[in-house]
Structure 1
Amino acid sequence: MSGSRIVRQRIWSRLAAVARPDSRFHFDFAHVIPDFEGSEAAVARLFAAVDPARIRRAFVTPDPSLVGVRRALLDAGVPILVATYDLHRGFVLLDPATIAPDLRLYASWLDGLEHFGRPLDLAGIAALGRLDLMVTGAAAVSLDGVRFGKGHEYFDLEWGLFSELGLADEETRLAALVHDVQVVDERFNPEPSDILVDLVATPTRVLDVGRRGRRPRGIDWDRVDPRHVETIPPLAELARLRGMTALSPTPQSTAR
């Protein structure tokens, strides 16, 4: 069993004690990054470290643990780009100007964001302008900002897409919000395409990870799973614009 898999199994056993059951996947951590006890405190700590008033636009993954992040940003008047589940329907934009304050909690849920969100094609995404903040959940994250486990490949792909379109760059803050039991002391050697986070927010602390070199820019098509090109609409659009033909198979990726 690989080192990261051993860590993941250890994390899952600890997470079971603090996770909130998901409406679809219950406690099946292989298919969902769950909400957890104390996520509200983690959200408060994140936005004590990152001032929402200075954020013009943000991207947030659809994890149940990030409902509070999405609501806080909407309440602060920040438009949010959100991925649909497994990116099958691409991305939607949650615009606080079009969502009544008493409906923003519902709009922050997975079902609600697709009801209130406006679907965007590639041109619509590119027209948004620069993202000041990207927030993701994680199965686990190391003290040096390496995410691993469920969903990490999607966030890397999202970064690649946004950076290729000019929406994300070295100035974009990247944060992971997790429970303390999901933070591991081990240090890992990330792949060149792995996107490391700058901040890790938990119910008890915020870790300022710092930066380890420059982030990769754009999509490394040699590492893209061909199934993603077939099933993720914006990626398929970009591949056509780039004149991409059939891609070589890659190892099976981890679903969000």
Structure 2
Amino acid sequence: MSFFKNLFSKKNNDTEAPQTSKVQEAKEPLPEMFQGMSLDIFTEDGAELLTGQVSEYSGTNLTLERLPGWLAFETCPLGSTVFVRGYNRRMQSFNLRGTVVESSRVLIKLRDLSVEHIPNVRKSFRLPINCSASIFRGDDERFSRPEQCVLIDISTGGACVESEYVHPEDEVVFLRFKLDDYPTMTFKGQIIRGSEHKDDRFRYGVLFAQLTRDELTNLTRTLYNIQTGNRQIWDRNEIGTWG
């Protein structure tokens, strides 16, 4: 209401209007983005629409294309508002608002990007992976009985895996995987949801136990490098970790 009161106020308040306008026009700068980095797109109600990779980025315009090996996009009505989520260089997640100007099964184009803070969108950015991994039951302390699975996506908080094995919710497991040419990682977690996917296979959401500082640092740096296609920012040190 205060904005409209200022807009239609008496003449003795006219001098304050330009100052209010200047404050409102100030916008938070957009984060740096790279060609090839992965981003999540959400609808206005917080539902995940698609995950794609940056193919063009200029000013407040952004184009995403399909990730290699991934299926077609869900299309979105032109003119609709969507939200973009990713990581910046400091491994802090960011949210952007944009308007859809082109949407097909292979790409989506957005314009008028602006920074947006959205409380109902997941806190951890999920990076699509689609690589082989292994699940170990919680009592397999020697990791001698691996169950082969597919790591669908991963974040610093957990992962989604696809498996032919049945696991109950709340079961404690260990998830072991190797991303690209980075060292093998093993995390303890708990299955918090499961559903039948297709062809007698199941998809599980695994919530990681609280990571140590070193585990969190190594995982976030690895995810960031994979997301941006960057192999130069972090170099392996003499003991085999990344820092």
TM-score norm. by structure 2 comes to: 0.34
**Rg larger in 1 or in 2?**
2
TM-score norm. by structure 1 comes to: 0.33
Between structures 1 and 2, the one with greater helix share: 1
Larger relative contact order, structure 1 or 2 (CA cutoff 8 Å, min sep 6): 1
Between structures 1 and 2, the one with greater strand share: 2
